[in-house]
Amino acid sequence: MKFNTLTLLGTSLVVTCSVSSLVQQLLNFDSVKPYSSSLLERASELYGGNYHELNDEILETWKEMELTVSHEKIKNVIDNYSKNYVSAVQKPNLSKFSENRAKTLWEFVNNKKSELFENYTLRVKKAKPEILGIDTVEQYSGYLDIKDQDKHFFYWFFESRNDPKNDPLILWLNGGPGCSSMTGLFFELGSSTIDAEIKPQFNPYSWNSNASVIFLEQPVGVGYSYAGSGSSKIGTTTAASRDVYVFLELFFQKFPEFLNNKFHIAGESYAGHYIPGIASEIINHADRSFQLSSVLIGNGITDSLIQYKYYQPMACGEGGYKQVISDEDCENLEEVYPRCARLIQSCYNTESVFACVPANIYCESKIMSPYDKTGLNVYDIRKKCDENSDGCYADMDYSTQFLNKPEVMEALGAEVEKYVSCDESVFRDFFLTGDEMKPFQGYVAEILEKNVPVLLYAGDKDYICNWLGNHAWSDALEWSGHDEYLAKSLQPWYTLDNNTFAGEVKSYGNFTFLRVFDAGHMVPHDQPENSLDMVNRWINGDYTFGV
């Protein structure tokens, strides 16, 4: 799931919470001042670097940002948002800690062969299906600990229902940034769903039907993951990628029986940033103990410059669904996109917070606000959001309640006071670095050139990371197979089991784009049977889906 800033802030004014946090950090004032260079001067002090070389359009956006945020909104953020990271993200439940308990509960895995792993420890415990009621397969939970930073990343690993010794292995990541991979587990592709009575129900279309699956909670502060006192922030994909690489090295050290199995990384939404960054981190470690077989990105945000262009056609009836905003708003979106594009291009050129944050502010406020007025679900253009749910889906709240059960937390070894599905403080930290607007498509090209297959799949009823934008950036990607891939047209995709016309596909070499019919942002939730067909074929080497 990708945070929509407008939905997150609960207002049509995009700059309220996230930008107020930025202003509070940069200015730390008690009253709103007339525009001056003080905002950028404070930004320069905070981030380092020189803002004097910014172009006029970026400077004007900073000016608008300062003038738009009211004193009341700033005060609210000062009251509710602390610069102390630990007060904002998940906190440890200190009652869970004792040396004797730790020794009996966990197995500890360390790697002393490299300085890279010196401060990392993997903790592992066997989870008990008979207590949890989640599948009957072998499963393990635990934490990756970064000792010198007091950060702790939670994971839950399920072996395959079929042939775990030989079946592929998948690492699954949800997006946000700041959303829990437990959403993927219980709402999309995992062994069980959670019903209205907060009880697990067997999922016959789980991705662990023919693969072993790891659900990792990252970056720190997400789900059961947490940080201790004095921990620094993680606000960039690059920083998060390093931690995931170390996790994988220690995981394979603990479970060497999976080293010869095919290994894939899959995820959705902001994982369109995470996965390219993690894959690049992996393939650039020549001394790695494992090989990356492929990556799968579902309804991702990867190339903002191109993808923001396709909100207008998706909302205006050109994406296979009816027009959902007014003619006036459709015309206005065409008018505001060029400035959005110029700001994103400046971010691409510099990757500077001074350019990337204003690009995020302007594009989110101008491009997303017409759709937000409709009250429609940004994750499924066909539906309204459930007003009684924080995540637009009431069923998501069921899994949150399940994961907050004391007996579940005890069985998994969870060490937080409370589980939350999406953490706004993690989102804010990424927002304040301008991470969303930075280009990650170059990493995808790097992956392809290293002969690692890449699947982009997209539910065609999603709005926030819609299929039009994903298809467009795949066509524009600069790599050695660009011309041949571009020349391909979308072809029918039929499932193997029942020959269902399930979508459209185009493929060249090791690069494939798949449009999934009648699915929103979370494809495995909306099309469970067809998504299982998709993943089973892909991880077993059918990279063209029969085309």
Residue 24 pLDDT:
43
- The mean pLDDT value for 367-376 works out to 93
Global confidence as pTM: 0.87
- The average confidence (pLDDT) of the chain is 85
- The mean pLDDT value for 118-142 works out to 95
- The mean pLDDT value for 428-453 works out to 91
Residue 383 included in any domain = no
Over 70: is that where the pLDDT of 84 sits? no
Residue 374 included in any domain = no
Residue 36 pLDDT:
41
CA distances from residue 10 to 225, 243, 355, 368, 387 in whole angstroms, order as listed: 26, 32, 25, 13, 12
The kind and range of the H/E element at 215 are strand 212-216
Task: Name the least confident of 11-25, 79-93, 119-133, 484-498.
Answer: 11-25
Residue 149 included in any domain = yes
Task: Name the least confident of 105-114, 237-246, 488-497.
Answer: 105-114
Higher pLDDT, 432 or 375: 375
Residue 98 pLDDT:
47
Residue 481 included in any domain = yes
Residue 413 included in any domain = no
- The mean pLDDT value for 70-97 works out to 40
Residue 54 pLDDT:
65
Residue 473 · residue 306 · CB < 8 Å: yes
Q: Which of 521, 525, 526, 531 is catalytic?
A: 521
Higher pLDDT, 106 or 315: 315
Domain total of the chain = 1
Residue 375 included in any domain = no
Residue 279 pLDDT:
98
Residue 176 · residue 2 · CB < 8 Å: yes
* Residue 190 zone, left/alpha/beta (φ > 0; ψ -120 to 50; rest): beta
* Residue 434 zone, left/alpha/beta (φ > 0; ψ -120 to 50; rest): left
Helix axes 271-283, 237-254, angle to 10 degrees: 60
Domain membership of residue 107 as a residue range: 94-304+437-539
Residue 380 pLDDT:
97
Residue 535 included in any domain = yes
Over 90: is that where the pLDDT of 277 sits? yes
Residue 9 pLDDT:
31
Higher pLDDT, 235 or 183: 183
Residue 93 pLDDT:
52
Judge whether 269 counts as a catalytic residue: yes
The kind and range of the H/E element at 502 are strand 501-508
Judge whether 141 counts as a catalytic residue: no
Judge whether 21 counts as a catalytic residue: no
Residue 42 pLDDT:
56
Q: Which of 20, 192, 209, 269 is catalytic?
A: 269
Task: Name the least confident of 63-77, 109-123, 167-181, 211-225.
Answer: 63-77
Residue 144 pLDDT:
95
Listed ranges 29-38, 88-97, 174-183, 207-216; the one with the highest mean pLDDT: 207-216
- The mean pLDDT value for 449-459 works out to 98
DSSP helix/strand/coil, 59:
helix
pLDDT, tens digit (0-9, with 9 covering 90-100), for 223-250? 999 987 655 556 678 878 999 999 999 9
Listed ranges 5-19, 63-77, 167-181, 500-514; the one with the highest mean pLDDT: 500-514
pLDDT, tens digit (0-9, with 9 covering 90-100), for 279-299? 999 999 999 999 999 999 999
* Residues with Cβ within 8 Å of residue 202, at least 6 apart in sequence: 135, 191, 192
Residue 329 included in any domain = no
Which amino acid, one-letter code, is at 528?
P
Over 60: is that where the pLDDT of 79 sits? no
Residue 102 pLDDT:
59
- The mean pLDDT value for 466-477 works out to 99
* Residues with Cβ within 8 Å of residue 503, at least 6 apart in sequence: 460, 492, 493, 514, 515, 516, 517, 530
Which ranges constitute the DSSP H helices of 199-293? 237-254, 271-283
Q: Which of 462, 474, 526, 533 is catalytic?
A: 462
Reported as a pLDDT band with limits 50, 70 and 90, residue 426 is: confident
Q: Give the CATH number, domain containing residue 474.
A: 3.40.50.1820
* Residues with Cβ within 8 Å of residue 155, at least 6 apart in sequence: 141, 142, 143, 144, 214, 215, 216, 217, 247, 251
Tokens of 442: 């170059």
CA distances from residue 26 to 43, 82, 222 in whole angstroms, order as listed: 5, 13, 26
pLDDT, tens digit (0-9, with 9 covering 90-100), for 39-56? 556 555 555 556 656 677
The percentage of residues in the chain with a pLDDT greater than 90, rounded to a whole number, is 64
Residue 428 pLDDT:
78
DSSP helix/strand/coil, 170:
strand
